[in-house]
């Protein structure tokens, strides 16, 4: 019976850029984000949750 050689460990996932919501919102309750020719709105709710809409 042949043994399969051990596989090398998988490379770590690419680092993901993290941006704080405070930095992104810049003191506002709502911002517009343009992406792919469309404009999206990101807003902070009364319960301090984020909602993204097209």
Q: Give the pLDDT confidence of 7-23 residue by residue, as tens digits.
A: 888 877 788 888 999 99
Per-residue model confidence (pLDDT) at position 1: 65
Q: What global pTM score does this model have?
A: 0.68
Question: Cα separation of 5 and 22, whole Å?
Answer: 49
Question: Of all helices (H) and strands (E), which one includes residue 9?
Answer: none
Least Cα distance to 37 among 24, 54, 52, 21 occurs for: 54
In order of 3, 19, 38, the CA distances from 25 in angstroms are 56, 10, 19
Contacts of 33 (CB under 8 A, 6+ apart): 39, 40, 41, 42, 52
């Amino acid at each position: 019976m042949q043994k399969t050689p051990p596989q090398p460990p998988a490379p770590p996932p690419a680092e993901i850029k993290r941006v704080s919501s405070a930095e992104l919102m810049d003191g506002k309750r709502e911002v517009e984000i343009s992406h792919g020719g469309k404009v999206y709105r990101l807003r902070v709710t009364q319960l301090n949750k984020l909602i993204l809409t097209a």
